[in-house]
Amino acid sequence: MSVLPALLTNATILAAATGLTYAVTMFSVALVSVASRSPARRRDARATLALLVRRGPDRDQHFRRPKSRNPTSRASKPEGRKTF
């Protein structure tokens, strides 16, 4: 059991380093996409940013504004948890 704390520490350090690297990469690409003078370079940076921040169809729906609901429709009534 003495190996487990060392393994968790190494995993935590690796996760932190990976997250920091990703954040620095995202920041630099976003900065280039906004601040570059060349339109071609801005376009390339935005395309790269779109690749790095891809959203699938399921995840994308959480960021969209919901459509207006009809108050008499079944979708607006709260229902219990469905089991399948």
Output the pTM of the full model. 0.52
Beta strand residue intervals within 1-81, DSSP E: none
What tens digit of pLDDT does each residue of 28-57 get? 988 888 888 888 888 888 888 888 787 666
Q: How far is CA 64 from CA 10, 56, 73, in A?
A: 38, 13, 21
Residue ranges per structural domain of the chain: 24-54
Q: Is 66 helix (H, G, I), strand (E, B) or coil?
A: coil
- Give me the percent of the chain exceeding a pLDDT of 90: 21
